[in-house]
Amino acid sequence: MDSLAAAPGTGPSTSPLRLVRPARAPRRFEDLPADRTLVMGILNVTPDSFSDGGRFEETGAAIEAGLKMHYDGADIIDVGGESTRPDSVRVSPEEEQERILPVVAALVKAGVLVSVDTMNVSTAEKAVAAGASLINDVSGMAVDPAMPELVARTGVHYVLMHSRGAVRSSDPHARYDAVADEVLSELTQLRETFYAAGVSSEQIIIDPGLGFSKDGSANWELLRSMDRLTALGHRVLIGASRKRFLGSLLTTSGKAAPPLERDDATVAVTTLAAFHNAWGVRVHNVRPNVDAVKTTAAWKG
């Protein structure tokens, strides 16, 4: 094991800036397990994310949290510096980069496979230069026209997520006649812009965008359409973790369950997504979801 220092909480120094480089940490997608659904850990370096805003706003705390998720079994750490909850305020690309780039660089140096959660081309480009292997772009149909060229030029993997309208305002665009048909059609349409820029099919990961311009019934319908999503021929990422539609499902005494009480339901969705061949799940609480995908893989044989 490389001697950058002890793991957080295990040695004489617990400084998150003195990192361990795990002996067999996957640095490339080619090294990731192919026999089970992957687990992507969510690392919000923000003061205002809906579930854990402010917990990892400081760089050192964010690095330590990312390492803990890695040691808990996360295959990929998704680092984001801008919240997309409806009442959040947009930040400049410069502020976003100031938040996340030191975290990305430190985690990559420690041997972690890193994704960057951003809608900004300039942030994505600098994160890739710092070692990120995946761009997770939630802009949906409003994707920056420069993004396909960047993905083609750098050769990174790219999450193509469905959304309509501004990502912070879901209700005006949450009307569908046949949500699965429309989401599949719009993802296919958006995919063509990436193909035209020279992006290969193998670079693209599909995300139906649960909770983005979709109400609870639409989210459940999309989850029931997993087979149709995988039939598009791309890897499928499911991001249901702690989302509002799970809180509504768990309503008691007229009150929806708060985000931190939605983890068990998240694990249930992870298990079903894994059973239906999702490539990955994006989650806040890593360890139980790792257990779920391993258990599902063993069940499926």
Distance CA 62, CA 44 (A): 8
Q: How many CB atoms lie within 10 A of CB 224?
A: 12
Alpha carbons within 13 A on the beta-carbon side of 210: 28
Q: Which two tokens stand for residue 246?
A: 């799970």
CA-to-CA distance for 141 and 212, rounded, in angstroms? 11
Nearest-angstrom CA–CA distance, 294 and 288: 10
Active-site residue identified among 68, 126, 214, 282: 282
3-state secondary structure of 1: coil
| Distances in whole angstroms, Cα of residue 64 to Cα of each of 56, 118, 130 | 9, 21, 18
Tell me the one-letter amino acid at 144: D
Reduce the DSSP state of residue 76 to 3 states and report it.
strand
Taking the C-alpha atoms of residue 250 and residue 239, their distance in angstroms, rounded to an integer, is 18
Residue recorded with tokens 């994707």: 143
Q: Give the DSSP letter of residue 68.
A: H
282 is catalytic: yes
Distance CA 272, CA 23 (A): 32
What phi, psi does 34 have (nearest 5°)? -105, 0
Q: Is 243 a catalytic residue?
A: yes
36, 243, 244, 262: which one is catalytic?
Answer: 243
Q: How many CB atoms lie within 10 A of CB 288?
A: 15
DSSP per-residue letters across 8-52: TTTSS---TTS----TT---SGGGS-SSS-EEEEEEE-SS--TTT
* Residues classed as catalytic: 243, 282
